[in-house]
Structure formats: C-alpha cells, structure tokens
Structure 1
Amino acid sequence: MNIEQFNADHGIVGQIEFFEGQGGLPFIRASNAKANALISVYAGQVLAYRPAGKADDLMFLSEKAYYQAGKAIKGGVPICWPWFGSDPEGKGRPAHGFVRNRMWDVIDTAVSVNGEARIVLGLTDTPETRSIWPHAFVLRLEITIGETLGLALITRNSGDQPFSITQAFHTYFGVGDIHQTSVSGLEGKSYIDKVDGGQQKIQSGAVTINTEVDRIYLDVANELVIHDAARKRNVRITSQGSRSAVIWNPWAKIASEMADLQDDDYLRLLCVETTNAASDVVTIQPGSEFRLTAQYRSE
C-alpha cells in the first residue's frame, strides 16, 4: 500500500498523517494538543513521543538505527513477541521473536472526543509465520497518544490448540545522564542477573546504573518510576498483565560493539521493559486473548 492510499484510508487531517520515513518505510505522525508521536508501520513500533510543552522526547532513538527489512529499529518501543530473549526452543530463530522486523497492517485510526489519537496496528499468522512458530494468532497493538502514551498488545489464539508466549515492550527511554538516573518500585524484588550467569539476587534500594545491566525482575508491582535528574523529570510506568520487568543498559563495551549505537549512547538510554519473561509465561487457550498494557507519563 502506498502512502497516498494509507492517508486516504486512515489519515485524519491535522492529526494523523502517513509519510515515507527513513529507509522508505511508512511512518505515522500523530499530532494533537496533548502530544506528538512518531510510529513506524514496519515493526509496529512507536519511535518517539513528546508531551505538549515538554522539551525532551520520552524515548531514545539511535541516530545509527537500521531502517531496512529484516532489521530491528534501535530505539522507541520494539515489540518482542511471541518470545522474549533467545529462542526458547533453541532452534536458531531470532532473539525476541519475529514481529519487530516485519511490516504490520494498519487496522484503524481515530481521534477521541477528548482529543487523543488512537492507532491500531496488527498482524495475523501466515504460512511464513507458521513455518517459524506453528500457531494461528491475531495480534493487535493499540497505541493511544495523549497526555500519556498508552500501549496495549492483544494476543488472540485463533487456532484450536493452546499456546504459550513470553513478550515485552522493549522500551528505550531517553535520559539526560545515566549517572543521574535511577528506577524506583523494584526495591526488595528478586531478579535474574543475566550479566552474572543468571544468578538470582535481591534488589537493595533503587536501581542505579554504573556498569552493564541486564536483569529480569520477578513478581513486580504494576508501577515503576524512572527518576531522570539531569532532565528534571520522572517517567511513571504503569502496567497490567505483567508480573516481570527488565532493566537493560549495554554500558560502554557493548555499546561500542553495536553498529546501530554510537559509542557513548549508553549514557543517554535506559531500557525499562514491561514484560512477560522468565517464569512469567502466558498460556492462551483457543478462542481466548491476553492483554499486556503499559502507560508512560512524563512528570
């Protein structure tokens, strides 16, 4: 579908506009009195979100990100589905599943009476997806752009057998200075330390970052706060459908080895991910659906 057809079918004058973005990919620009956002139809991925009157975007988006078929876009909110992390069956399939590197469908766009934009993207199974993951599904991503950024990932089992998934909003938040950043809401929680061989540890105090961090927190509450002192803001994350969360920062060595990051980008990003990961596995019965939601507010 070309850009003109996208706009004819789903554009809303002055509010939701489709245009050709980097790499020739179809992008969506949503603008209203409450916020501005940028979304890639490829990967079903929010790339940027800035509330009205705020100087800084909520998201980190790498200046060296790839915008090409088969590659994941480094930044914003990549969708990990139907598994989080490495291939759970060890078949050599790509990490974090197969939906963050393919084109999604545009299902619906609307503007609510209170001025929020709503964009629904989706995927359904095909012979090609079933060759990767042998299940029938309908996947929907509902994006709400207003005073907060709302995300709902809805998985429907359209087959005749139950299936299990892990998943994530792999959200890259932009921060002013990682040395002046912390995350509260995980105090006393158990976590799997993937940097230290998967050892299980207990979080003492707020999470601070001064080295590579890759942790899966278990039995988490549904509200976390990023304290971004350099930008004089807090980012409040509320979620439903999730009992785990991931904190990730690559730090200097890994950042320098990633072709789609600048060497010092680790100073400006922090992934705080709303997940169903590790033991937080979701099983969906035939004809049933599961909703994972997250809402981000800059304060």
Structure 2
Amino acid sequence: MNIEQLNADYGIDDQLKFVEGAGGFPFIKIDNDKASAVISVYAGQVLSFQPANDPNNLMFLSEAAYYQPGKAIKGGVPICWPWFGLDPDGLGRPAHGFVRNRFWNVVRTGVTADGDAIVTLGLIDTPETKAIWPHSFNLSLEITIGESLNLELVTRNTDTRPFFITQAFHTYFKVGHINQVAVLGLDGLDYIDKADNAAHKLQTGTVSIGAEVDRIYRKAQGKLVIDDAAQCRRICITSQGSNTAVVWNPWAKISAEMADLKDDDYQRLLCVETANADLDVVEIAPDSEFRLVANYRIEHDLSHVLKGTQPVTTG
C-alpha cells in the first residue's frame, strides 16, 4: 500500500493521516479535539485510543508485539472472525479466524457534524479466503474516534446459502495494576471457566483478578464496567448484537511464555471482549447482514457509572 496515495485519497487535513508504522504497516493516525488514535490497516486493528481529557491510553499494546504478515498484533482491538477460539471444525485453521492477520482495504474516511473522525475498513472474499472458509462475504469495520471509541463490525452474506459465524472484539484494555481492577455487570451470570477445565460456574459479585482468568460469560448484555482504581477511572463498555462477554488475563506463567508479551505485562492488561461465542452462534442468511457494536467510554465522574453498584472483591 502506497502511503502517499492513501493520504491523497483518504487523508483529512489537520485530523487524519496515513504513516508508515511498525513493520512497515500503513497506520492511520487521528488527532482531533476529542481524542487521538492509531489504527493499523493490517488486521483492521485499533492500536491506540486516548481521549483528550485522560492522561492514559485506553488500549494496552505490547512492546513485544509482532508486526509481521501472517502474525497477530498483541494489543489494541484484534478482530476475531469468522470464528472465535479454536477452529470449530478441527481442520487446523488459525485460532480466532483469518482477518486479524491480513491487510484490510480502506473504504472511506470522514468527519461527522460533531467533529468525530470516521474510518471504514473492509474485506471481501478472495480465492485465498475461500480456501480457508468457503463462503462469499463482505465484512466492514466502521471506527468512530470522538469522546468515545465506537466500533461497528458488519458481516454481509453475499453467498447463495446461509453461513454461521462466531466473532469478537478481542479488546486489550490498559489498566493501572491488575490487583486494583474489578469488572462490574456480570453478577449472577453463568460462565465457562476455561482456566479450570471448562467448568460451568456462576458469577457472584464483581470479577476481580488474582490468577489466570479465561471466562466466557453467557447472556451478557448491555453495560459492563472496568473499575480501574489505580488510574482513578472506569471504562464503560456498551454493546449491541452480543450475548457473550469474555474476560481474560494470562497471569504470570502464560505472560512469561508468550514471546509477544513481556513477563510482567499481565499486571497492565485486561481483556473484556464483546463477542458472539460459545452458544451465541450467529446465522446469516443470503443477502442479509449482522452488526456487532461496541462502544468504549472513560468516565471520571464515578457517581454516574452503574449508580448504586458497589465493588465486591470475589472471584
């Protein structure tokens, strides 16, 4: 991809420009009155989002991340599609699908009447993708950079037969310290504990992190909140089109084993993922579409976040 041509076609003066990023990947840098952000055209992945009123980035991005074709970038918002987790058919295909490790197309850029920047990236089927997943599709990701970060992933079935997908925004949030984090909004939900032999459990109180956590929460809808006490903020997550939430932290052993994480990175990251996974499988008919939406907003006035909810430090 030619950076000069991308800027000529899609750049926006004083707000949005294309630059050569790590690994030579085209990055989109956005800086407006409300926030700054970095988006990688490779993987269609938001790598950074920092509101103008917050001294800390919303996103965790590993300093040891890979920037190589065929590799996933560790951090930001990787897109898992058309399946979440291991290959559902056991054919040895990559975990979390094939769109987080290839270049996307820039479809359009723009600015709203409110001054938010909008970037739309897309993918369509090719002979290469059909060799991996034998369906025709049109996938688009609309990213809105304003006071909040808004993501809309739209899957359109351009095939002659229905197909089924699972998917996720595999979002890595940057937290002050994992020992001072709680996730609110999951109390009373059933979950699959993948760190405990996929045992079925019931969440009681808020979620705190004191060991490896890898959980798939069923019937998770509406608003979730990450109480990031060390940074004196809460991260509000609202979603549409999702009945599943995934909470993941690798903890010390796995963090040390991952070449694209530093040994102590687990202390600074928490994934809370908006997903269709587990039993939440989406069927899309021919000439139909499905929309997965997530909005991330940092709140400093804590009295307005899940009013009346008090953190309970339970597992």
Deviation at 1:241, TM superposition (A): 0.1
Instruction: Report the equivalent of 1:263.
Output: 263
Partner letter of residue 6 of structure 2?
F
Instruction: Report the equivalent of 1:292.
Output: 292
Instruction: Report the equivalent of 2:125.
Output: 125
Counterparts of 1:108-257 in structure 2 under 5 Å?
A: 108-257=108-257
Matched, 1:279 2:288: no
TM (normalized to structure 2)? 0.95
Deviation at 1:60, TM superposition (A): 0.2
Say which SS state the counterpart of residue 179 (structure 1) adopts.
helix
Instruction: Report the equivalent of 1:7.
Output: 7
Looking at structure 1, the residues matched to 168 and 222 of structure 2 have their Cα atoms a distance apart, in angstroms, of 14
Say which SS state the counterpart of residue 101 (structure 2) adopts.
coil
Deviation at 1:53, TM superposition (A): 2.2
Deviation at 1:222, TM superposition (A): 1.4
Say which SS state the counterpart of residue 48 (structure 1) adopts.
strand
Looking at structure 2, the residues matched to 192 and 146 of structure 1 have their Cα atoms a distance apart, in angstroms, of 35
Looking at structure 1, the residues matched to 27 and 221 of structure 2 have their Cα atoms a distance apart, in angstroms, of 34
Say which SS state the counterpart of residue 110 (structure 1) adopts.
strand
Partner letter of residue 80 of structure 2?
C
Instruction: Report the equivalent of 1:34.
Output: 34
Q: Deviations over 1:117-161 (max 9, x none)?
A: 000000000000000000000000000000000000000000100
Deviation at 1:21, TM superposition (A): 0.1
Say which SS state the counterpart of residue 155 (structure 1) adopts.
strand
Say which SS state the counterpart of residue 82 (structure 1) adopts.
coil
Instruction: Report the equivalent of 2:307.
Output: none
Deviation at 1:19, TM superposition (A): 0.4
Deviation at 1:221, TM superposition (A): 2.1
Percent identity between matched residues is 66
Deviation at 1:165, TM superposition (A): 0.1
Instruction: Report the equivalent of 2:303.
Output: none
Looking at structure 1, the residues matched to 93 and 142 of structure 2 have their Cα atoms a distance apart, in angstroms, of 26
Looking at structure 1, the residues matched to 113 and 30 of structure 2 have their Cα atoms a distance apart, in angstroms, of 16
Deviation at 1:210, TM superposition (A): 0.3
Instruction: Report the equivalent of 2:66.
Output: 66
Partner letter of residue 244 of structure 1?
T
Instruction: Report the equivalent of 1:25.
Output: 25
Partner letter of residue 238 of structure 2?
T
Partner letter of residue 270 of structure 1?
L
Say which SS state the counterpart of residue 38 (structure 2) adopts.
strand
Looking at structure 2, the residues matched to 32 and 148 of structure 1 have their Cα atoms a distance apart, in angstroms, of 12
Q: Deviations over 1:86-129 (max 9, x none)?
A: 00000000000000000000000001111000000000000000
Looking at structure 1, the residues matched to 165 and 30 of structure 2 have their Cα atoms a distance apart, in angstroms, of 31
Looking at structure 2, the residues matched to 183 and 206 of structure 1 have their Cα atoms a distance apart, in angstroms, of 6
Q: Which runs of 5+ in 2 are unaligned?
A: 300-315
Q: Deviations over 1:186-214 (max 9, x none)?
A: 00000000011111100010000000000
Looking at structure 2, the residues matched to 137 and 36 of structure 1 have their Cα atoms a distance apart, in angstroms, of 31
Looking at structure 1, the residues matched to 235 and 274 of structure 2 have their Cα atoms a distance apart, in angstroms, of 14
TM (normalized to structure 1)? 1.00
Looking at structure 1, the residues matched to 129 and 278 of structure 2 have their Cα atoms a distance apart, in angstroms, of 23
Matched, 1:85 2:76: no
Runs (4+) off by over 2 Å: none
Say which SS state the counterpart of residue 164 (structure 1) adopts.
strand
Partner letter of residue 233 of structure 2?
R
Instruction: Report the equivalent of 1:44.
Output: 44
